[in-house]
Amino acid sequence: MTHVRNAAMALVALLLLVAGAWASWDSAQHVLLAKGREHGTLTVTGCSEKTCSGRYVPEDAGFPSRALTIARSVAAEQGAVIPVVVKPGTDEGVRTGWGGGLHAWLPLGGALLLAAPLVGGGLRLPRTAWSMAGAGGVLLVAAFFAL
Residues 13-39 pLDDT 10s: 999 999 999 999 998 999 999 888 899
Using CA atoms, how far apart are residues 110 and 98, in angstroms rounded to an integer?
A: 18
pTM of the complete model = 0.85
Residues 74-109: tens digit of each pLDDT: 667 888 899 999 999 899 999 998 988 999 999 999
CA atoms within 13 A on the CB side of 127: 0
Strand partners, 86: 93
Tell me what percent of the residues of the chain surpass a pLDDT of 90. 72
- Cβ–Cβ under 8 Å, residues 118 and 16: yes
- 8 A C-beta contact, residue 7 and residue 106: no
